[in-house]
Amino acid sequence: MRRGNPEARLLPVFMHYSVNKGDRLEDIPQDINLVTMGINPSKSDVHLGHYLTMYQALRLIADRRDTKGLFFVDDREYDNKKEREGRGVWMPPNDNVASIVVRMRSFIADMERELSSDGLQERVMVRPMSNHMSQAPHAESLGNGYRLYEMIRLNHDRISNAFPIFRPDYPHDKGQLSMRPVCRECHYAPVACSDVQTEPGKMYGACRNAACRCRVVTVDLERDQTNWAMHYTIDPLRDVLLARDKNAGVAHVFGGDYGMEWGPGRTPKAQRLSGLIRDMNKDVVVHHYVGPLLTRYGEKLSKSNGDHSQQPAARELERMLGHATLEVNAVAGH
């Protein structure tokens, strides 16, 4: 396995980019009403990085009696890994989503006991993104999915400035779509940018899966249809709507990879998101907290390189805090 020096590729982590830099969870302002985070259910298990991110989010909630949590299973996000394999964009099976929800709820129940925080389970909701998209706040007649879609569509230029991969002229034909319709029959989405069209409340695309009987994919957002996906880098923009709806201070907790240099300009994704949110809505502040980057043999820890951890205890997770990077081989039990 290629060895590397993660520190050389990192800007300082533990940043909540919307305010001053800090190196502790306690540095995040007290006037936080809602803490969010998300897990992609590409597999049916929860790995060590997920547990650490959840633990940090739960610490924030436990330390603030009036603060609640909204933890997402991001079953409506995609990246381009499957595209490179020639498979198009793929949505996770419902069994994966259900398994992740159960594991997250079980972890929250255990942390309520270990953190001695009575009522923690009642204050934290675990919700699949597809369910959230089909619902609407009490004051709104349109669903969350429609509102999120329109916010992304109307802010395309701002999003493309923050994340150049969405620009039509991105080099080497590696440009991405911020949103894609997903075929209801085969669960694949159009790969080519030219295959997708967007308009107010609707999205259209071509299904190129030769084994599928469908040829045209249509999504009607006004009917709360959720057969569409957004690129993983921008799904945290939902925090903007949550902050507006709840008139709340929001803190989003990311894994350590969101503090790594990324893309043109080498600006971390969390920093890009923070600047983008300020550009989109000056009245909304979402604090972004980036936790430790877990590594193995100098490479970012992931499911593909051996992160198949059992649920760790709170004391073990607590010892991981305070590091910019942490080599998991040096952590007991891993």
**Does a structural domain hold residue 101?**
yes
pTM of the model: 0.87
pLDDT tens readout for residues 146-205: 999 999 999 999 999 999 989 877 765 667 889 989 888 888 777 677 788 999 999 999
Cα 333 to Cα 307, 311, 328, distances in angstroms: 12, 11, 9
**Does a structural domain hold residue 78?**
yes
What is the domain count for the chain? Answer: 1
User: Which amino acid type is present at position 308?
Assistant: H
**Does a structural domain hold residue 294?**
yes
d(CA 93, CA 321): 33
Q: Which residues of the chain have pLDDT under 70?
A: 1-24, 79-90, 171-174, 191, 302-309, 329-334
The predicted pLDDT at position 22 comes to 38
**Does a structural domain hold residue 182?**
no
**Does a structural domain hold residue 310?**
yes
Note whether 2 and 299 are within 8 A (CB): yes
**Does a structural domain hold residue 176?**
no
Q: If we measure between CA atoms, which residue out of 68, 230, 58 comes closest to residue 144?
A: 230
The predicted pLDDT at position 52 comes to 92
Helix (H) or strand (E) holding 72: strand 68-73
**Does a structural domain hold residue 62?**
yes
- Output the domain CATH number for residue 74: 3.40.50
CA 234, 286, 314, 13 dihedral sign is positive
**Does a structural domain hold residue 217?**
no
Residue in the structure block whose two tokens are 């045209």: 216
The phi-psi region of residue 172 (left if phi > 0; otherwise alpha if psi is between -120 and 50; otherwise beta) is left
Determine the structural domain holding residue 39 and report its residue range.
Answer: 6-20+28-163+241-330
